[in-house]
Copies of this chain bind each other. A is one copy, B any other.
Protein backbone atom coordinates (compact mmCIF):
# COMPACT_ATOMS: atom_id res chain seq x y z
CA UNK A 1 0.00 0.00 0.00
CA UNK A 2 1.23 3.43 -0.80
CA UNK A 3 2.53 6.19 1.44
CA UNK A 4 -0.45 8.51 2.11
CA UNK A 5 1.88 11.49 2.74
CA UNK A 6 3.71 13.49 0.11
CA UNK A 7 7.10 14.92 1.12
CA UNK A 8 7.81 18.26 -0.58
CA UNK A 9 11.17 19.00 1.02
CA UNK A 10 13.25 17.92 3.97
CA UNK A 11 15.72 19.70 6.22
CA UNK A 12 17.72 19.01 9.38
CA UNK A 13 16.71 21.59 11.98
CA UNK A 14 18.97 20.39 14.81
CA UNK A 15 21.73 17.86 15.29
CA UNK A 16 24.25 16.75 17.87
CA UNK A 17 26.46 13.64 17.93
CA UNK A 18 23.53 11.46 19.11
CA UNK A 19 20.56 12.70 17.07
CA UNK A 20 19.29 14.57 14.06
CA UNK A 21 15.92 16.34 14.07
CA UNK A 22 14.22 16.47 10.67
CA UNK A 23 11.44 18.82 9.57
CA UNK A 24 9.77 17.81 6.34
CA UNK A 25 7.35 19.99 4.40
CA UNK A 26 4.48 17.66 3.51
CA UNK A 27 1.08 17.28 1.96
CA UNK A 28 -0.90 15.40 4.62
CA UNK A 29 -3.11 12.41 3.78
CA UNK A 30 -6.09 14.81 3.74
CA UNK A 31 -4.39 17.04 1.17
CA UNK A 32 -3.29 19.92 3.40
CA UNK A 33 0.16 21.51 3.43
CA UNK A 34 1.99 21.07 6.71
CA UNK A 35 5.17 19.96 8.42
CA UNK A 36 6.26 16.68 9.99
CA UNK A 37 9.06 16.72 12.57
CA UNK A 38 10.84 13.56 13.57
CA UNK A 39 13.97 12.44 15.19
CA UNK A 40 16.76 10.19 13.92
CA UNK A 41 19.12 8.39 16.28
CA UNK A 42 21.27 5.28 16.08
CA UNK A 43 19.57 1.93 16.34
CA UNK A 44 20.02 0.30 19.73
CA UNK A 45 20.12 -3.01 21.56
CA UNK A 46 18.57 -4.18 24.83
CA UNK A 47 19.71 -7.34 26.56
CA UNK A 48 17.85 -9.88 28.67
CA UNK A 49 20.60 -11.71 30.57
CA UNK A 50 19.09 -14.85 32.11
CA UNK A 51 20.81 -17.06 34.67
CA UNK A 52 20.20 -20.82 34.99
CA UNK A 53 17.01 -20.15 37.04
CA UNK A 54 15.70 -17.88 34.24
CA UNK A 55 16.10 -14.85 36.49
CA UNK A 56 16.84 -11.67 34.54
CA UNK A 57 19.50 -9.07 35.30
CA UNK A 58 18.25 -5.51 35.88
CA UNK A 59 20.25 -2.36 36.38
CA UNK A 60 19.23 0.66 38.44
CA UNK A 61 20.01 3.56 36.15
CA UNK A 62 19.35 7.29 35.85
CA UNK A 63 17.27 8.75 33.01
CA UNK A 64 18.32 12.32 32.23
CA UNK A 65 15.08 13.25 30.38
CA UNK A 66 12.84 11.74 33.08
CA UNK A 67 15.05 12.93 35.98
CA UNK A 68 14.63 9.66 37.87
CA UNK A 69 16.37 6.42 38.84
CA UNK A 70 14.60 3.29 37.64
CA UNK A 71 15.16 -0.46 37.21
CA UNK A 72 15.57 -1.45 33.57
CA UNK A 73 17.30 -3.89 31.25
CA UNK A 74 20.86 -3.08 30.15
CA UNK A 75 21.42 -1.82 26.62
CA UNK A 76 22.24 1.23 24.60
CA UNK A 77 22.88 2.81 21.27
CA UNK A 78 24.56 0.83 18.54
CA UNK A 79 27.78 2.20 17.13
CA UNK A 80 27.19 0.82 13.64
CA UNK A 81 28.77 -2.42 14.76
CA UNK A 82 27.45 -5.97 14.58
CA UNK A 83 24.38 -6.37 16.81
CA UNK A 84 25.79 -9.26 18.83
CA UNK A 85 29.12 -7.45 19.30
CA UNK A 86 27.29 -4.27 20.39
CA UNK A 87 25.23 -6.30 22.84
CA UNK A 88 28.28 -8.02 24.32
CA UNK A 89 29.92 -4.63 24.83
CA UNK A 90 26.82 -3.00 26.39
CA UNK A 91 26.26 -5.96 28.71
CA UNK A 92 29.89 -6.02 29.81
CA UNK A 93 30.04 -2.25 30.36
CA UNK A 94 26.79 -2.00 32.28
CA UNK A 95 26.81 -5.27 34.24
CA UNK A 96 30.22 -6.95 34.03
CA UNK A 97 28.47 -10.04 32.68
CA UNK A 98 29.78 -12.14 29.78
CA UNK A 99 27.52 -14.67 28.04
CA UNK A 100 28.28 -17.75 25.94
CA UNK A 101 24.85 -18.08 24.36
CA UNK A 102 23.18 -15.28 22.38
CA UNK A 103 19.75 -15.25 20.69
CA UNK A 104 18.67 -12.30 18.57
CA UNK A 105 14.94 -11.70 19.09
CA UNK A 106 12.79 -9.10 17.30
CA UNK A 107 13.63 -5.55 16.30
CA UNK A 108 11.00 -3.00 17.35
CA UNK A 109 10.44 0.69 16.64
CA UNK A 110 10.87 2.88 19.72
CA UNK A 111 8.31 5.60 18.92
CA UNK A 112 5.94 5.18 15.98
CA UNK A 113 5.12 8.85 15.51
CA UNK A 114 8.42 10.59 16.21
CA UNK A 115 11.50 8.39 15.81
CA UNK A 116 13.31 6.28 13.25
CA UNK A 117 15.25 4.33 15.92
CA UNK A 118 14.78 0.58 16.17
CA UNK A 119 15.82 -1.52 19.15
CA UNK A 120 16.80 -5.18 18.86
CA UNK A 121 16.15 -7.38 21.89
CA UNK A 122 18.75 -10.03 22.66
CA UNK A 123 18.70 -12.96 25.00
CA UNK A 124 22.00 -13.75 26.72
CA UNK A 125 22.50 -17.03 28.61
CA UNK A 126 25.29 -19.17 30.03
CA UNK A 127 26.53 -16.19 31.99
CA UNK A 128 29.85 -15.49 33.67
CA UNK A 129 29.59 -12.75 36.27
CA UNK A 130 32.37 -10.18 36.50
CA UNK A 131 32.88 -6.74 37.98
CA UNK A 132 30.47 -4.00 37.05
CA UNK A 133 33.07 -1.76 35.55
CA UNK A 134 32.80 1.58 33.85
CA UNK A 135 29.08 2.18 34.24
CA UNK A 136 29.15 2.07 38.01
CA UNK A 137 32.29 4.20 38.17
CA UNK A 138 30.54 6.66 35.85
CA UNK A 139 27.70 7.13 38.29
CA UNK A 140 25.25 6.16 35.55
CA UNK A 141 24.26 2.85 37.09
CA UNK A 142 23.93 2.52 40.83
CA UNK A 143 23.42 -1.22 41.21
CA UNK A 144 22.23 -4.37 39.48
CA UNK A 145 20.79 -7.74 40.39
CA UNK A 146 18.90 -10.80 39.14
CA UNK A 147 15.11 -10.91 39.56
CA UNK A 148 12.57 -13.63 38.75
CA UNK A 149 10.22 -12.81 35.87
CA UNK A 150 7.34 -12.85 38.40
CA UNK A 151 9.12 -10.22 40.51
CA UNK A 152 9.74 -8.19 37.38
CA UNK A 153 6.03 -8.34 36.52
CA UNK A 154 5.26 -6.98 40.01
CA UNK A 155 7.88 -4.22 39.60
CA UNK A 156 6.23 -3.19 36.31
CA UNK A 157 2.82 -3.20 37.97
CA UNK A 158 4.16 -1.03 40.81
CA UNK A 159 5.88 1.42 38.42
CA UNK A 160 9.38 0.51 39.66
CA UNK A 161 10.06 -0.49 36.06
CA UNK A 162 8.46 2.05 33.70
CA UNK A 163 10.87 2.04 30.76
CA UNK A 164 8.79 1.06 27.74
CA UNK A 165 11.77 -0.37 25.86
CA UNK A 166 12.44 -2.71 28.82
CA UNK A 167 8.78 -3.77 28.92
CA UNK A 168 8.80 -4.46 25.17
CA UNK A 169 11.89 -6.63 25.66
CA UNK A 170 10.20 -8.50 28.52
CA UNK A 171 7.26 -9.39 26.26
CA UNK A 172 9.63 -10.73 23.57
CA UNK A 173 11.74 -12.67 26.08
CA UNK A 174 8.73 -14.26 27.81
CA UNK A 175 7.23 -15.32 24.46
CA UNK A 176 10.55 -16.81 23.38
CA UNK A 177 10.84 -18.76 26.64
CA UNK A 178 7.24 -20.02 26.42
CA UNK A 179 7.80 -21.20 22.86
CA UNK A 180 11.12 -22.92 23.52
CA UNK A 181 10.00 -24.56 26.76
CA UNK A 182 7.66 -26.70 24.62
CA UNK A 183 10.12 -27.69 21.91
B-binding residues in A (CB < 8 A):
1, 3-5, 13-14, 16, 18-19, 21, 23, 26, 28-30, 35-39, 41, 61-67, 69-70, 72, 76-77, 106-119, 137-140, 142, 153, 156-157, 159, 162-168, 170-172, 174-175
Beta-carbon contact of B159 and A164 below 8 Å: no
Which residues in B have their C-beta under 8 angstroms from that of A109?
Answer: 63, 66, 162-164
Q: Name the one of B36, B111, B142, B156 contacting A110, with C-beta atoms under 8 angstroms.
A: B111
Q: Name the one of B14, B111, B112 contacting A37, with C-beta atoms under 8 angstroms.
A: B14
Which residues in B have their C-beta under 8 angstroms from that of A35?
Answer: 16
Residue of B nearest to A163 (CB): B112
Q: How far is the CA of A39 from the CA of B14 in the complex (A)?
A: 11
Q: How far is the CA of A37 from the CA of B165 in the complex (A)?
A: 19
